[in-house]
A and B are shown apart, each in its own frame.
Chain A
Amino acid sequence: MSGFLARARRHVGFQTGAVLLLLFAGTALVSVCWTPWPPDDLAMRLKLQPSSAQHWLGTDHLGRDVLSRIMVGAQVSITVGLIAVALGMSAGVALGAWAAARGGWVDEALSRTSDLIFAFPAVLIAILITSVLGASARNAILAIAIFNVPVFARVTRGAALALWSRDFVRAAAAMGRGPFGITMRHVLPNVMSVLIVQATIQFAVAILAEAGLSYLGLGAQPPVPSWGRMLRDAQTYIFQDPELALWPGLAVALAVLGLNMLGDGLRDLLDPRLRLLRVG
């Protein structure tokens, strides 16, 4: 662990990503108990105001404080992203580990199914599901979770298959440990670093997807502020108040950029092959 921290201290990308992520998560946390203004406070008199000392990022078409809404929007982004990735990851890791341990028809069926899900573009699955079940944050989570399942299943299966042919796993099998025991004791702990990296990247993808869905009106419903929805509203007033279209997009971009940089950094820091290469 101390070796990891020492290397992390020299990795600029990882640090930038970590700072951006802290900023993102911190904003969401702070917004739970404090925002500069109540995010739903309507003040038609003050609509479409530019940045000022009272309203740092101005006000929207209903006179609501943009900064406050972006802060609360971070909560929505994190909640949708975290739950969707956690759901997709649980199902995907279980399926991938099962396929690797069982092999045969289970493996074959699973691979074909994930090919099938990959043939549908993710946005379309999400649109299809939300259109049938209705637009809500819950259904957006479900839709994003579904296209995360095959991603994690594939990564887990690939990493686990490589482990199953290793001597220490074979030794465990020879000593009479069953496939479930081996998976829990030897396989999963060893694929954990790959999964952490993948989860970070998928979290970024989920935030982009949530923003896209709520831009289309298929995510969290008003009055809950979401970054995608704010952009949709801002576009309507783009000629009167162009500034309005800048901030929510910047928030999405910084959150996603932070997670991507953190994921890339973690991959560099956790991948033992790269570490060996550097030592050698």
Chain B
Amino acid sequence: MLDFITRRLAAALVTLALATVVVFAIVEVLPGDPALVMLGTDARPDTLAAMRAQYGFDQPLMIRYLHWIGGLLSLDLGSSHAYGTSVAKLIGDRLAVTLPLGALALVWAMLAAVPLGVFAAWKHGTVGDWGVMGFTQIGISIPNFWFGILLVLAFAVTWQIFPAGGFPGWRQDPLGSVDALILPGLALSLGEIAILTRVTRSAMLDTLREDYVRTARAKGAPESRVLFRHALRNALIPVTTVAGLIAGFLIAGAVIIESVFRLPGIGQLVYDSINNRDLIVIKNVVILFTILVLLVNLLVDLAYVLLDPRPRIAA
């Protein structure tokens, strides 16, 4: 078990190290002169020189890279060119919106997908099954930001139950903040509901064919017990794995959804930073996302081992 964890952790660290090289290359090497990207081609030579000196763009690449890595390790991410504040604080503030948003979307996805998938597998080959599969086909085809706009049309413009966008802040208005995240969470979860429903359905179809399910039925166990106690419990192993993999993408999907609902989260920060050409913020946010995705994948692998003893023995 310990051996398995160590190996997975080492692999994740290698991936992360490579990721820092790639991000550094894209942000600081690819554009030629980062100062020129940040200030624009019509900037005066002395302003450009001042920026190069301020951010160390005049140093050799290797020194700049190591300086950045050192900063990452000590959580000193430098200061934002556009906001004039510390990048670490900026990101911390924004995570307070994005993490709850992602978590809410994951909860929506699980709440909707597991019952739908169980139902489709139970009614395999009938109209109910086709209906659910048709819904998943539509769910993966609709762009989630358009679904977000449709939700605004229905629940903010027509019925005015939820706000159309904006975020009051956790301290100022905790209940209003939860309200502000309901529609975005739903919009973000649509594609994931579709994918998780399919995974739950196929996993349930597999377990429903197992001998122990037949035994349970032969014993005369009630159908609900067979479905939820015997079959679903084992079907949840692949569902958890996929849910975890999806979690990383939920965080990324938040970039667009936050823009739809004007939520001051990480996604909005990325969007604004692109418009402000704030490479320092972009570079660090992308690495943060990568760390989150790797961390989630790692946790999924661990959860997998805890839920299913087989890979543990194999390891």
Question: Could you tell me which A residues sit within 8 Å of B by CB distance?
Answer: 112, 115-116, 119-124, 127-133, 204, 208, 211-212, 215-216, 218, 228, 231, 234-235, 238-239, 242, 245-246, 248-249, 252-254, 256-257, 260-261, 264
Contact of B252 among A121, A130, A131 (CB under 8 A): A121
Cα(A249)–Cα(B138), bound, Å? 13
Could you name 10 residue pairs across A and B whose Cβ atoms are closer than 8 Å?
A: A119-B293, A119-B294, A120-B290, A124-B252, A132-B37, A132-B279, A211-B146, A238-B153, A253-B143, A257-B141
Contact of B286 among A124, A228, A242 (CB under 8 A): A124
Known interface pairs A119-B293, A133-B30, A235-B260; A124-B15 also in contact (CB < 8 Å): no
Cα(A249)–Cα(B143), bound, Å? 7
Instruction: Beyond the given A211-B146, A245-B146, A253-B142, please list 16 additional residue pairs across the A-B interface where CB-CB is below 8 A.
Output: A112-B18, A116-B18, A119-B294, A119-B297, A120-B22, A124-B252, A127-B255, A127-B274, A132-B31, A212-B143, A215-B145, A215-B256, A231-B146, A231-B149, A245-B153, A264-B137
CB distance from A204 to the nearest CB of B (A): 7
Q: Residue among A132, A212, A242, A257 with the most chain B CB within 10 A?
A: A132
Task: Map CB proximity to A onto B16-56 as digits: 1 under 8 Å, 0 otherwise.
Answer: 00110011001100110000010000000000000000000
Check: B122 CB closer than 8 A to any chain A CB.
no
Q: Are B137 and A252 in contact (CB under 8 A)?
A: no
Q: Are A119 and B259 in contact (CB under 8 A)?
A: no
Q: Considering the complex, give the chain B residue whose CB is closest to the CB of A213.
A: B256
Q: Are B23 and A128 in contact (CB under 8 A)?
A: yes
Residues of A within 8 Å of B152, CB to CB, are 235, 238
Q: From DSSP, what is the main secondary structure of chain A's interface residues?
A: helix
Q: Are A123 and B252 in contact (CB under 8 A)?
A: yes
Q: Considering the complex, give the chain B residue whose CB is closest to the CB of A215.
A: B145
Q: Considering the complex, give the chain B residue whose CB is closest to the CB of A242.
A: B153
Q: Are A131 and B282 in contact (CB under 8 A)?
A: yes
Check: B77 CB closer than 8 A to any chain A CB.
no
CB distance from B64 to the nearest CB of A (A): 16
Task: Report the interface size class on chain B.
Answer: 35 or more
Q: Are B256 and A216 in contact (CB under 8 A)?
A: yes
Residues of A within 8 Å of B289, CB to CB, are 120-121, 124
Q: Are A115 and B143 in contact (CB under 8 A)?
A: no
Q: Residue among B146, B152, B273 with the most chain A CB within 10 A?
A: B146
Residues of B within 8 Å of A208, CB to CB, are 143
Check: B248 CB closer than 8 A to any chain A CB.
yes
Residues of A within 8 Å of B293, CB to CB, are 119-121
Q: Considering the complex, give the chain B residue whose CB is closest to the CB of A251.
A: B146
Check: B253 CB closer than 8 A to any chain A CB.
yes
Check: B263 CB closer than 8 A to any chain A CB.
no
Q: Considering the complex, give the chain A residue whose CB is closest to the CB of B249.
A: A121
Q: Considering the complex, give the chain A residue whose CB is closest to the CB of B18.
A: A116
Q: Considering the complex, give the chain A residue whose CB is closest to the CB of B294.
A: A119
Q: Considering the complex, give the chain B residue whose CB is closest to the CB of A235.
A: B149
Residues of B within 8 Å of A130, CB to CB, are 274
Check: B111 CB closer than 8 A to any chain A CB.
no
Cα(A246)–Cα(B88), bound, Å? 39
Q: Residue among A116, A128, A231 with the most chain B CB within 10 A?
A: A128
CB distance from A210 to the nearest CB of B (A): 10
Check: B227 CB closer than 8 A to any chain A CB.
no
Cα(A215)–Cα(B277), bound, Å? 18
Known interface pairs A119-B290, A124-B289, A127-B255; A261-B143 also in contact (CB < 8 Å): no
Residues of B within 8 Å of A234, CB to CB, are 149
Cα(A107)–Cα(B145), bound, Å? 38
Q: Residue among A121, A246, A254 with the most chain B CB within 10 A?
A: A121
Known interface pairs A116-B19, A212-B256, A260-B140; A245-B251 also in contact (CB < 8 Å): no
Q: Are B251 and A252 in contact (CB under 8 A)?
A: no
Cα(A258)–Cα(B93), bound, Å? 41
Check: B150 CB closer than 8 A to any chain A CB.
yes
Q: Which residues of B143-195 are within 8 A (CB) of A? A: 143, 145-146, 149-150, 152-153, 157-158, 164
Q: Are A204 and B141 in contact (CB under 8 A)?
A: yes
Q: Considering the complex, give the chain B residue whose CB is closest to the CB of A253.
A: B142
Q: Are B141 and A253 in contact (CB under 8 A)?
A: yes
Q: Are A116 and B15 in contact (CB under 8 A)?
A: yes
Check: B271 CB closer than 8 A to any chain A CB.
yes
Task: Map CB proximity to A onto B268-307 as digits: 1 under 8 Å, 0 otherwise.
Answer: 0011011001010010001001100110010000000000
Task: Map CB proximity to A onto B47-70 as digits: 1 under 8 Å, 0 otherwise.
Answer: 000000000000000000000000
Contact of B149 among A127, A239, A245 (CB under 8 A): A245
Cα(A252)–Cα(B142), bound, Å? 7
Residues of B within 8 Å of A256, CB to CB, are 140-143
Residues of B within 8 Å of A215, CB to CB, are 143, 145, 256, 259
The 7 A-B pairs of least Cβ separation, nearest first, read A121-B252, A249-B146, A257-B141, A131-B274, A256-B141, A253-B142, A123-B252
Cα(A224)–Cα(B294), bound, Å? 38
CB distance from B261 to the nearest CB of A (A): 10
CB distance from B288 to the nearest CB of A (A): 10
Residues of B within 8 Å of A212, CB to CB, are 143, 145, 256
Cα(A123)–Cα(B31), bound, Å? 20
CB distance from A206 to the nearest CB of B (A): 12
Known interface pairs A211-B143, A212-B143, A257-B138; A249-B149 also in contact (CB < 8 Å): yes
Contact of A124 among B145, B255, B294, B297 (CB under 8 A): B255
Residues of B within 8 Å of A253, CB to CB, are 138, 141-143, 146
